Amino acid sequence: MVEMLHEYGAKNYSIFLDSESNNLFAYLEIENEELWSKSSQTEICQKWWKYMKDIMETNEDNSPVSIELKEVFHLD
């Protein structure tokens, strides 16, 4: 999985768990949106989604349910 993440331009990737709500929050920086969008078709990504579907909310294709968040503050 780590190899695939690097191959498709992922960097600075973290997953957080809110133990009170049992919600997962992932933060990921990517180099190229078009390249990253192809990562979902890889065998390892499909396997990961299937493995994780019991502990996270998923769509019909096992992809994680995600929402766009509005950035309200940023500091480099």
- The residue written with tokens 């994780």 in the block is 52
The contacts found for 56-64 with CB under 8 angstroms, 24 or more apart, are 56/24, 64/26
- Whether the per-residue pLDDT at 42 is higher than 90: the answer is yes
Residues 17, 24: contact at Cβ < 8 Å? yes
Write out pLDDT tens, residues 17-40. 999 988 888 999 999 999 999 999
* Average pLDDT, integer, range 2-9: 96
Reported pTM: 0.78
